Structures are given as structure tokens and as C-alpha cells.
Amino acid sequence: MSLVRRATGALIHRVYRAIRRAGAITPAVPAGHRFRRLGDGVSIAFPPGAIFGEQWIEVGDHTLIGERVSLSCGMGPGVDLGPGSILRIGGGCSIGRGTHIVAHQSIDVGDDVFTGPYVYITDQNHVYDDPDVPIGRQWPRNSPVSIGSGSWLGAGAIVLPGTRLGRQCVVAAGAVVRGEFPDHSVVAGVPARRVRGYTPELGWHAPDVVLADSGS
């Protein structure tokens, strides 16, 4: 019986590996043709998350997108979002499993950006301007997001509307990010703040080191 179980288990694993290979979205399969652009070598792993609004999504060459990653544009399928792209992911990126990138106006992810699992990036948030109207029924507000090339976003990080991360930034796991951060920033916390920076003279250092060094 143990031999039968082992053989059955091995067969199941072989079949599942074959399903994952066949189910991946690449530029060569029909599902890949729905995207505005999927670059050479792109692979979106099977099973995917929620994917819609593909005609407004661009993904650069050799980017790898993990399983159960959601990529969406707009509130739902069938909405006309205009002539241009809305979600742009650069080349050479690695997007961790379970990540959600939800675009309504503009999200730019640069080249060689890596994320851990379960990162959430959005350019839209609910508002609570009217205290008498349920928050879910108030019209949400958009603000573009950009993530600079070479950045790393740790597991479970949340990037909120209006965020602008410079190049080569590090976002700590679990951070909730909103605002503008220059190149070579390390941001951490809830809400996230800049905890380290880089200059050629000092290397990596706490932000206040620069102020002390300049005599401020």
C-alpha cells in the first residue's frame, strides 16, 4: 500500500508541475495577448490572482510574477480607462507571490524592482469627507504612485496613493508607506519614515547624521 501511495503522490506532483507550466501566462499564450505589452521572457505564474484591465497593463522584459499575484486596472472588467497604459512594471522585476497591484490612475514600477510576498500597492483610497455617508459609498480618491528602479519592498509592505519612492530604496517588511522619499532611502514603520540614507561621503547613515555634519 505504501508503494501505491508513493507512486500516486509522485504522479500527482508531476501532473501539478505540468499544470503550472501550462497555466503560466507568457507572451506566447492567448492570455498574454490581452495585455498592452508583455515583454520577452515575462512569466506570470499559475495560479494567478485577479487579473483584469490587461489592455492598460505593461510589463517589461524578463520580469517574473509569482503565483496568486493580482494585477488590475479600474474597478472591474469592462470599464473604458482611456487610450494610455495605467499600470507599468519595468524589466527584470520579481513580484512576490500574493502581491496585489491595484491601479486606477497611474502606477509606475521601475526596472529591477523586487518585492517579497503579499505586498500591496495602490493608487486609490477611500475617503471619509462626509461623516454622514458610509465610507464605502463615498467616491474614492486617486493619486499616482511611482517606485524607483532597483528598489526592494519587504514582505507585507503597503504602498499607498501618492507615494513616490526614489531609486534603490528599501521598504521594510510590514511598512505602510505614503509620501515622497529620495533615492537610497530605507523606510520602515507604520506610518513609514526614512530611517537611513546614503551619501558617497558617509555611506549608509541615519538621516540626522547629514544635518549634524552640515552644521545645521
Catalytic positions, please? 126
Residue 43 near residue 26 (C-beta atoms within 8 A) = yes
Cell of 182: 529620495
Cell of 98: 500574493
Give the angle 183-115-79 at the CA atoms, nearest 5°: 100
Q: How far apart are CA 88 and CA 195, in angstroms?
A: 28
Tell me the backbone φ, ψ of residue 20, rounded to 5 degrees: -65, -40
Task: Give 46's strand partners.
Answer: none
Q: How far apart are CA 178 and CA 89, in angstroms?
A: 19
